[in-house]
């Protein structure tokens, strides 16, 4: 039962948060500072998420095969490789380094 309560609260809460962002009146976004900030927030969030998913295992910082894979993705991006190739490079290099015992 406890699990259902937790699921219910999470479902409603997560939906409300998503909807709130969409319903903020457009007028509030017209000010240049707000617009700049709204453009920069995804940059900060994506950068932090990328770093965490690369270098963490739970709450511990680790350096493993994923770092090599994401580095390969970065190189592919600099070479302007298509999206799927970038992801494939990351997956392939990670698997390769792991197979070699990294």
Partner 1 sequence: MTSAGSGLTLLQTCVLSLLVFTGASQFALVGALAAGGGPFTAAAGALFLGVRNAFYGLRLSQLLALPRAVRPFAAQWVIDETAAVSLAQPTRRSARIGFVVTGLSLYLLWNLTTLLGALGAEAIGDTDAWGLDAAGPAVFLALLAPMLRTGTERTVAGLAVLLGLGLLPVLPAGVPVLVAALAAPAVLWARGRRSASRGDVPEEDR
Q: What is the closest distance, in whole angstroms, from the C-beta atom of residue 67 to partner 1 in the complex?
A: 9
- Name the token pair of 72: 């390969």
Q: What is the closest distance, in whole angstroms, from the C-beta atom of residue 89 to partner 1 in the complex?
A: 7
Is residue 42 a contact point for partner 1 (CB under 8 A)? yes
Is residue 63 a contact point for partner 1 (CB under 8 A)? no
- Residues sharing a CB contact under 8 Å with residue 102, sequence separation 6 or more, in sequence order: 64, 65, 68
- Name the token pair of 83: 């999206």
Member of 7, 31, 63, 79 binding partner 1 (CB under 8 A): 7
Cα 52 to Cα 17, 22, 62, 73, 82: the distances in Å are 23, 27, 10, 16, 24
Taking a C-beta distance cutoff of 8 angstroms, is the pair 90, 73 a contact? yes
Is residue 62 a contact point for partner 1 (CB under 8 A)? no
Is residue 31 a contact point for partner 1 (CB under 8 A)? no
Is residue 48 a contact point for partner 1 (CB under 8 A)? yes
Member of 31, 40, 63, 79 binding partner 1 (CB under 8 A): 40
């Amino acid at each position: 039962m406890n699990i259902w309560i937790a699921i219910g609260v999470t479902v409603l809460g997560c939906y409300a948060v998503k909807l709130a962002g969409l319903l903020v009146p457009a007028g509030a976004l017209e000010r240049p500072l707000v617009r700049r900030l709204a453009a920069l927030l995804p940059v900060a969030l994506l950068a932090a998420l990328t770093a965490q998913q690369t270098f963490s295992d739970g709450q511990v910082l680790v350096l493993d095969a994923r770092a090599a894979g994401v580095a390969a993705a970065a190189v592919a991006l600099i070479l302007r490789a298509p999206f799927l190739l970038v992801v494939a490079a990351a997956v392939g290099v990670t698997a390769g380094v792991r197979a070699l015992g990294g």
